[in-house]
Structure 1
């Protein structure tokens, strides 16, 4: 498995760990952002990262039938984890602001489902995936992600991550002076106002 030090080195080498003033999809502000798309754009660098996460999943999740990833960020990671662990992999997409299964994807009743994401901050996307799993009568068994930057929450005990980062987040009206003077960037595929 890839150590924390080596994982951080890969993130920096691929320009995936960014510094600045970012508004996350949750609406929270942060001085750092992990752009997993940059990591994944370098397959030779990301291979060890993803393989290490797959090993952690194998060690910590006794059994599961299918992987569900939220589009857009989790699609490649879910596919790669599924390929390594030889599991079917599907993804959900936002339709009218809610996750739905499209493209003929479905979850069999009582199927054990592992959610695979790129980055978890608030856990909102993961919890939306859990609702979708429940809607189909599946059984949620856990969450895996490349980067866990969540704080203590109801889902944090269920998260298996390659890297746990403690990056501060702030509400717009509680920004530190250091962020107030930096131009805002809104990365990611979803932005909530």
Structure 2
């Protein structure tokens, strides 16, 4: 069994400070999965571990789809580990869109994959984009779960902010249940600190 927290720490991917998350909330911790995924062998190993969970569930997958940019490397490696094709959605004029000639078939079983799931907002945007084209969303996956949604095999309670559907499985390698605050509640803001956003949309 891989020690995911140690892998993130050793890769310099578990950051401490004052961060603005994609959800708009603040946290003293940030997971920068790009630092983990810059090592191809490690990315392959993590994806194989995630694929094992999915196969053991079991879940039949035709295609893995990721929202760009954060989910691209994780999704591609997961598709490779599962032996299925990979597609991605990307933002155009603020809307998550399927472009670049990608198409889906009616009833095609699609697993949405992110590097990290916080509330699942971007994952749901990608899911809705392929679903409206006739595909079937069968589950969600991520390397890491920020502890708002409940993954398969975890006893963490689902929080109200979780946007993933309750009736579909969510797979992840580890829960990182860090403190998360709204801007009004954030103790670091009250101390005069300004949040930074090291993720793909902010940097």
Task: Specify which of 43, 54, 57 is matched with residue 57 of structure 1.
Answer: 54
Structure 2 contact 117–146 (Cα < 8 Å) conserved: yes
Task: Please tell me whether residue 170 in structure 1 is matched to residue 167 in structure 2.
Answer: no
45-54 or 130-139, which moves further after superposition? 45-54
Stretches of 4+ aligned residues off by more than 6 angstroms: none
How many Å apart are 1:177 and its aligned residue? Answer: 4.7
Task: Specify which of 150, 155, 158 is matched with residue 164 of structure 2.
Answer: 155
User: What is the TM-score normalised by the length of structure 1?
Assistant: 0.90
Partner of 1:118: 115
Task: Specify which of 132, 136, 144 is matched with residue 133 of structure 2.
Answer: 136
Partner of 1:98: 95
Task: Specify which of 53, 62, 65 is matched with residue 68 of structure 1.
Answer: 65
Q: What is the CA deviation profile of residues 93-139 of structure 1, one whole-angstrom value per residue up to 9, with x for unaligned ones?
A: 00111111111001111101100110010110111122112211111
Q: Distance in 1 between matches of 2:197 and 2:163?
A: 27
SS in structure 1 of the partner of residue 81 of structure 2: helix
Partner of 1:24: 21
Task: Please tell me whether residue 44 in structure 1 is matched to residue 55 in structure 2.
Answer: no
Structure 2 contact 98–130 (Cα < 8 Å) conserved: no
Structure 1 contact 150–156 (Cα < 8 Å) conserved: no
Q: Distance in 2 between matches of 1:55 and 1:32?
A: 28
User: What is the TM-score normalised by the length of structure 2?
Assistant: 0.86
Task: Please tell me whether residue 188 in structure 1 is matched to residue 194 in structure 2.
Answer: no
94-103 or 149-158, which moves further after superposition? 149-158
Count of residues paired in the alignment: 188
Structure 1 contact 92–102 (Cα < 8 Å) conserved: yes
Q: Distance in 1 between matches of 2:58 and 2:200?
A: 29
Supply the RMSD in Å over aligned alpha carbons. 1.8
Structure 1 contact 67–89 (Cα < 8 Å) conserved: yes
SS in structure 1 of the partner of residue 24 of structure 2: coil
SS in structure 2 of the partner of residue 90 of structure 1: strand
124-133 or 106-115, which moves further after superposition? 124-133
How many Å apart are 1:84 and its aligned residue? Answer: 1.3
> Structure 1: 5+ residue runs without aligned partners?
none
Q: Pick closer, same or farther for the CA change 1:17–1:9 going to 2, 3 Å.
A: same
Higher RCO, 1 vs 2 (CA within 8 Å, ≥6 residues apart): 1
> Structure 2: 5+ residue runs without aligned partners?
149-157
